[in-house]
Amino acid sequence: MNELYAFLASLAARGVLPEVFQYAFFVRGLLSVALLAPLLGGISHLVVARRLSFFSAALGQAALTGLVIGLLLGEPVTSAYGGIFGFCLLSALAMVYVKRHASLPPDTLVGVFLAMTLGLGICLLVAVAKRFNIHQIEAVMFGSLLTVTDADLALLLGVGVLVAIALAWIYNRLLLDSVESSLARVGGAPTVLYDYLFVVLLTAAIVVSLKVIGALLVEAMVVVPAAAARNLARGARSYLLLSVVIAWLAGVGGLFLSSRVLVPSGGAVVLFLSFAFFLTLGLAGVRVLFVAQELPGQEDVG
């Protein structure tokens, strides 16, 4: 990787690439976006189809508690993946179990878990603050280019490949279960297994993205790309492709913005995602208006 960083830095020094490519941390951030876009953008439309937007927000909050637990157990502050993944996974499986066995609306149950995990995290944070500088934890909360390492990139690549393989294996059946679960059950699909398997994959995708997006904003990356793509998509394939493209464009734009004005990369990415949503919403409105104006003319010709 050092050879790649040196090569890009030499191109930037000669003016072939923007000056910011001289910094290895920016290149690592850009590579992480290249890996995150197909991972989170690809899973985004399934999150929306399965109505798990609020669920992903709860996982983001649980990540903060998992980080604190990991630190208390002795994990390094720069890579407390064990505590984060372990607590997020337990929270995710518990939410799915309670959702399938309780009579309350799913959003109410998720709200209970969100409040519980966040309250626990805040209480434990007081104990952690006595041993660690609170600013070291901000990178996980809000995302930061400076904290992405080569090891993080390797982990992101490995998890991304595993999640992609798992989703490709059950994609059609999972999509059917997401859109019409009753039809999937009639066809003999193990919908209960799909529920648990999908939240495991979603948890893994969220945990490895925390270094770039941040725990407090990660849910935007798994919801907004699909929401923006839905405004323009005309089928399942275009829905998936647009979600990935929008996630990638927002990630690259957010990284360049954060390198210029020194704002958290996670917040910058979310701003670009929000802009993409309202832009596609406006384009969808223009398309509907254009079609409505064309229809009378077509009737006259007939």
Residue 93 to residue 12: CA distance in whole angstroms: 47
The secondary structure element, H or E, covering residue 184 is: helix 181-186
The DSSP string of 40-69 is HHHHHHHHHHTT-HHHHHHHHHHHHHHHHH
| Enclosing domain of residue 278 | 2-301
Which pLDDT score, from 0 to 100, does residue 278 have? Answer: 92
Do 43 and 201 form a contact (C-beta atoms < 8 A)? yes
**What CATH number corresponds to the domain at position 199?**
1.10.3470.10
CA 32 to each of CA 37, 44, 74, 260, 279: distance values in angstroms, whole numbers, following the listed order: 9, 17, 26, 18, 25
pLDDT means per 10 residues in the chain (302 residues)? 79 79 82 84 83 80 82 74 85 86 80 84 74 64 71 85 87 78 70 84 85 73 87 83 89 83 78 90 79 59 42
Domain count of the fold of the chain: 1
- Give the contacts of 66 (CB within 8 A, at least 6 positions apart): 80, 83, 84, 85, 86, 87, 88
Do 153 and 28 form a contact (C-beta atoms < 8 A)? yes
Which pLDDT score, from 0 to 100, does residue 302 have? Answer: 42
Do 243 and 45 form a contact (C-beta atoms < 8 A)? yes
The sign of the CA dihedral 223, 224, 228, 229 is: negative
Which pLDDT score, from 0 to 100, does residue 78 have? Answer: 66
Decide: residue 193, CB within 10 A, 0-12 exposed, 13-18 middle, 19+ buried: exposed
Which pLDDT score, from 0 to 100, does residue 296 have? Answer: 60
Q: Is the pTM of this model over 0.85?
A: no
Do 256 and 20 form a contact (C-beta atoms < 8 A)? yes
Interior angle at CA 167, CA 163 and CA 169, nearest 5: 120
Residue 138 to residue 73: CA distance in whole angstroms: 19
Rounded to the nearest 10 degrees, how much is the dihedral formed by the CA atoms of 12, 146, 30, 71?
160
